[in-house]
Amino acid sequence: MVVSAERHLLLRVERLGEDVERLTASQLSAALRASYGALFGDAGLGCVSGLAARHYCAPAGFALVRVPRRHAAQARAAATAVQFIRKRPVRLSVIHMAGSQRTARRALVRRLEQQLAALAPPRPRAALGLCEGAAVRPPAVDAAATAAEIRRSIRELKDD
- 65 and 11 in contact (C-beta within 8 Å)? yes
**pLDDT 10s digits, 48-98:** 777 888 888 888 889 999 998 888 899 899 999 999 988 889 999 999 999
CATH number, position 29: 3.30.70.3250
Range with the largest mean pLDDT of 58-62, 104-108, 121-125, 150-154: 104-108
**Higher-scoring residue by pLDDT: 116, 129:** 116
Q: What is the largest CA-CA distance in the chain?
A: 68
pLDDT, residue 80, reads 92
- Left, alpha or beta for 3 (phi > 0: left; psi -120 to 50: alpha)? beta
Q: What is the pLDDT of residue 127?
A: 54
Quick one: CA torsion of 43, 49, 51, 53, rounded to 10 degrees?
140
Judge whether 151 lies within some domain: yes
Mean pLDDT in residue range 96-119? 88
Any domain includes 140: yes
Examine the pLDDT at 24 and tell me if it is beyond 60: yes
In a domain, 82, yes or no: yes
Angle at 86 between CA 66 and CA 72, to 5 degrees: 20
> What pLDDT score does 136 carry?
47
Q: What's the chain's average pLDDT?
A: 81
- Which residue range(s) make up the domain with 61? 6-159
Q: What is the DSSP letter of 95?
A: E
Task: Quote the pLDDT of residue 160.
Answer: 67
CB 15, CB 92: distance < 8 Å: no
- In 3D space, the residue among 54, 51, 47, 58 whose CA is nearest the CA of residue 24 turns out to be 58
Task: Look at residue 141 in the predicted model and tell me its pLDDT.
Answer: 46
* Domain total in the chain: 1
Query: Residue 1 domain-assigned?
Result: no
**Considering the entire predicted model, what is its pTM?**
0.76
User: At residue 146, does pLDDT exceed 50?
Assistant: yes
32 and 123 Cβ atoms separated by less than 8 Å: no
Domain-located, residue 55:
yes
Asked whether residue 121 is assigned to any structural domain, the reply reads: yes
> What is the pLDDT confidence band of residue 139, given thresholds at 50, 70 and 90?
very low
